[in-house]
């Protein structure tokens, strides 16, 4: 009998990758998100995927979706202005459903709760976030740990990958593929870390299937680091793009934030484009095995191909 999983936030970058990885491992998967049309477009052709449109902020809808699910993956993201109220409500609803179904809970988290760090971050690093959003992520982590359920908390750097549209990389690539002058958020000379979403999903599902991995945090780093300039040169090599790419820094985001609430909420996170947080994957590699690490040039070409097919 096939194992049964649900992915909340299935229409997002990591959610999409999780659904596809679970299907490849023989799961029956429920893809949950608010936008039914997007779910149909992404998964309507895959027989192992059941589409379930709904709102995780509604406790009854969340509970119904989780019924008889062995594994519950939480990769929902919502706009920054909704975080303070929305994320705790969603988490409360999902944790209640996990308890009711006696399921295993896997949280796809980011690095915000780590706050500023001066060296590669291990899971043992203290968490004292200095931003509102970092404090919210730490609150969510504490909710999970106090719920009395089997859990995994997975920390990922910034995403890039097929269907990962709400990302800095996608924003820049989209302009480049339209052969327009483009903007790169942050310093072009700074080394930063990104996770190719199919790699992140492989590591997440591997951990979900490892009984001794539960009740722990796990860092899932990318394939090393790359600068903005290296990223731009990879895209130029793959597409022939020749226009200018300019750096957009904190001052510009702050100015735009005077007129745009989303940009205003983004300003506090710009520290990650000035002094990036890099994750150590030593725990995973010691206890689980080699991390999936698609080289950046290979991953970027795959993203370009995916974007061109859907344009």
**Count of helices and strands (H, E) across the chain:** 12, 13
The closest of 22, 55, 39 to 201, measured between CA atoms, is 22
Give the residue extent of every domain in the chain.
4-159+196-222+277-293
Q: What is the pLDDT of residues 9-59, one digit of tens each?
A: 999 999 999 999 999 999 999 999 999 999 999 999 999 999 999 999 999
pTM across the whole model = 0.95
Instruction: Round to whole Å and give the CA distance between 136 and 112.
Output: 9
Q: What is the pLDDT of residues 140-197, one digit of tens each?
A: 999 999 999 999 999 999 999 999 998 989 999 999 999 999 999 889 999 999 999 9
- Contact (Cβ atoms closer than 8 angstroms) between residue 285 and residue 291: yes
Fold held by 4-159+196-222+277-293: Rossmann fold (3.40.50)
Q: Would you place residue 256 in the very low, low, confident or very high pLDDT band (cuts 50, 70, 90)?
A: low
Mean of pLDDT over the chain: 93
- Contact (Cβ atoms closer than 8 angstroms) between residue 43 and residue 49: yes
């Amino acid at each position: 009998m096939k194992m049964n999983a649900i992915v909340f936030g299935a229409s997002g970058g990591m959610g999409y990758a999780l659904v596809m990885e679970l299907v490849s491992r023989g799961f029956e998967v429920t893809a949950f998100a608010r936008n039914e049309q997007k779910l149909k477009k992404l998964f309507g052709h895959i027989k192992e995927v059941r589409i379930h449109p709904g709102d995780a902020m509604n406790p009854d809808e969340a509970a119904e979706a989780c019924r008889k699910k062995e594994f519950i993956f939480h990769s929902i993201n919502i706009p920054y202005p909704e975080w303070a109220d929305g994320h705790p409500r969603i988490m409360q609803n999902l944790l209640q459903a996990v308890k009711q179904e006696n399921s295993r809970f896997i949280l796809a988290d980011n690095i915000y709760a780590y706050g500023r760090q001066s060296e590669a971050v291990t899971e043992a690093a203290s968490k004292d976030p200095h931003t509102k959003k970092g404090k919210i992520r730490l609150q969510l982590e504490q909710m999970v740990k106090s719920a009395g359920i089997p859990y995994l908390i997975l920390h990922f750097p910034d995403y890039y990958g097929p269907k990962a549209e709400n990302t800095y990389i996608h924003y820049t690539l989209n302009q480049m593929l339209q052969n327009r002058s483009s903007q790169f958020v942050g310093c072009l000379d700074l080394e930063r870390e990104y996770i190719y979403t199919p790699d992140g999903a492989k590591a997440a599902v591997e951990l979900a299937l490892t009984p001794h991995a539960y009740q722990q945090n796990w860092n899932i780093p990318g394939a090393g680091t790359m600068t903005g300039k290296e990223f731009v040169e990879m895209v130029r090599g793959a597409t022939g793009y020749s226009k200018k790419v300019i750096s957009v820094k904190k001052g510009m985001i702050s100015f735009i934030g005077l007129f745009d609430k989303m940009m205003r909420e983004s300003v506090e996170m710009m520290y990650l484009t000035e002094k990036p947080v890099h994750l150590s994957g030593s725990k995973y590699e010691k206890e689980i095995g080699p991390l999936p690490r698609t080289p950046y040039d290979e991953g970027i070409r795959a993203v370009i191909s995916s974007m061109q097919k859907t344009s």
